[in-house]
Each structure stands twice: as structure tokens, then as C-alpha cells.
């Protein structure tokens, strides 16, 4: 059986229609669709797909990064697919692990995908460090002012309970 997997990142305005169309043209018989980050391991539809693999099945994705964002996770998934006696195809990268050349190509593309992700991480960290050097910090602003926090600590030290005073002043 030819099984497809689509994924779009959660929280982003992405639509899996392009992936669905490509899988339909590839004669995929059943599609497992997910809305989650590719960096996460706990993706229920992916796990359901992996649990249903049988010898002779082929897992098809539109693009390699739809399956996984790290080489380590990709290799784990590929090993599970292989142990199930199934094959793997990525339509965009023209990878087909039912052939030796396809297996080699998948490993090379996976390495480049991980390299790209690490480069993005480095650029992000450099940007954050530059912002900190300029005095900007990320994150949510503190809810309590320093004076309110000091007042609360003093009241707790006096033995005043939370119900005895207003939390906002």
C-alpha cells in the first residue's frame, strides 16, 4: 500500500493542499495529515502511520522536511520504515529508498537539511546576542513591578497571608 504523510507547522497559516495534490498524483492510497512542528517527536499521525507499516508498503512525502527536521530523527524514522520492510519516497527530492542510489541520496539530502537548520540556529543566536548587546531583551515583560514585589515579600515575611492583601498593589 502507498501511504502518504503531510505536515504543516502549527500556529502558522499554512495549507497542506499542495502536499495533498502531489500525493494524489503519486497514487497515494491513504494520507496521514498533521499540523505540528517537524522538530517535535510526538506527532500522533506520524506515529499512527509508522505503526501501520507492513512489508511492501511505501511511505511518500511531498518534501523531506515534512517528515523530519533533524538528520538524527530522519534516520530513526528511515530505520523504522526499513525494519517494517517498507520503502520511502520523497517527491520533491526524487528520493526512493527502494534503490541503493535512493538510499544514498536520502542520507546526503538529510545531512544538508540538518546543516541548513544549524545555520539558521547560529544566525538566530547571533541576532539574539546582538540585540542583548544593544540592551534589548526578549520575552514577556514582568507582570510585577520591583516595588510591588518587595512589598509582597515584606508582607509574607510579616506573616500576612495571600488572602489578606491585594496582589496588584
> Which positions are annotated as active-site residues?
9
Spatial CB neighbours of 58, under 8 Å, sequence gap ≥ 6:
1, 2, 3, 86, 87, 88, 89, 98
- Report the SS3 class of residue 70: coil
Residue 145 C-alpha cell reads as 513591578
Exposed/middle/buried for residue 106 (C-beta within 10 Å: 0-12, 13-18, 19+): buried
Amino acid at each position: 500500500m502507498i501511504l502518504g504523510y503531510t505536515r504543516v507547522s502549527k500556529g502558522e497559516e499554512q495549507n497542506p493542499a499542495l502536499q495533498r495534490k502531489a500525493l494524489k498524483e503519486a497514487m497515494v492510497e491513504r494520507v496521514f495529515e498533521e499540523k505540528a512542528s517537524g522538530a517535535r517527536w510526538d506527532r500522533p499521525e506520524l506515529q499512527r502511520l509508522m505503526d501501520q507499516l507492513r512489508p511492501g508498503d511505501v511511505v511518500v512525502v511531498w518534501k523531506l522536511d515534512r517528515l523530519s527536521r533533524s538528520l538524527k530523527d530522519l534516520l530513526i524514522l528511515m530505520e523504522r520504515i526499513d525494519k517494517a520492510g517498507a520503502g520511502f519516497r520523497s517527491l520533491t527530492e526524487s528520493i526512493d529508498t527502494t534503490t541503493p542510489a535512493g538510499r544514498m541520496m536520502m542520507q546526503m539530502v538529510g545531512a544538508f537539511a540538518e546543516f541548513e537548520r544549524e545555520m539558521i540556529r547560529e544566525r538566530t543566536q547571533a541576532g539574539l546576542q546582538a540585540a542583548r548587546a544593544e540592551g534589548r531583551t526578549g520575552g514577556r515583560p514582568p507582570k510585577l513591578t520591583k516595588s510591588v514585589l518587595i512589598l509582597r515579600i515584606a508582607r509574607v515575611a510579616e506573616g500576612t497571608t495571600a488572602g489578606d492583601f491585594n496582589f496588584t498593589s
